[in-house]
Amino acid sequence: MNLFITGTDTDAGKTTVAAWICSRLKVPYWKLIQTGSDSDSATVQRLAPQTPILPEAYRLRAPLSAWDAARLEQVTVDPNRFQTPCTPCVIEGAGGLLVPIAEDFCMIDALEQTQSTALIVARSKLGMINHILLTVFALHQRQIPIAGIVISGAIEPYIQETIEQFSKERIVAVLPESSDLPRLFERTPVPEAICKVLS
C-alpha cells in the first residue's frame, strides 16, 4: 500500500514529514507535481540521503499552483500519468486536497487514483482545527482511508482532544520545530499506523 501525504494548507510541513518517514522506513519518495524553482524531491534527498527518489510526473517552472503553472506554460496535465511507479511508496501531493491540477481533476482525485491511504499534515497555527476537519470531511466523503494526522509544531493537549473528537481520527504524531531535522528524525520513531500502511 502507498501513503499519500496531503496538507491542510501550503507549507503545512508535508515535505518534512515525508523525509522523516522515508528516512526511518527506507521507502521511495514520489512528488506528483513540482512547481517553482524549489524542489521537494531535493529536500527529501538532503534530509534522508538513502531515500530512492522517483521523478515527478510533472515539473513546472512557475512558482504558482499546479493548475495555474500548467496553464501559464501551456502544459496539459494528463491524470493518467499519476500511476504509482512502485509499492510501497510515500507520495507527496501539492497543496491541499481540492487544489485543481487538471480539467475537472483535483488533488483528491489523484489520491484516489493512486489507491493510497491518506496522511494529513497540518501546521500548528490559528485556524488549523477548521482546516483539518474540512480535509477529513473531504476524505470521508470519498471513503478514502486515513492513517492519521501529523501536526507540525507544538500543540496544546486540549486542541488535540478537540481535533480528535470532531474528526474521529487520531493525531498519530507531533513533529516539533527543529534546526537539526536529521537528528529529530533519528530519535522520532514512525507511528505504527503509518508503518502498517507501508509494510
What one-letter code names the amino acid at 181?
A: L
Q: How far apart are CA 11 and CA 187, in angstroms?
A: 23
Helix (H, G, I), strand (E, B) or coil at 63: coil
Omega of the bond leading into 182 within 30 degrees of 0 (cis): no
Catalytic member of 31, 125, 168, 196: 31
- Integer distance in angstroms from the first to the last C-alpha of the chain? 8
The question of whether 168 is a catalytic residue gets the answer no
Q: How far is CA 146 from the centre of its chain?
A: 12
Question: What cell numbers appear for 104 in the block?
Answer: 475537472
Give the residue numbers marked as catalytic: 31
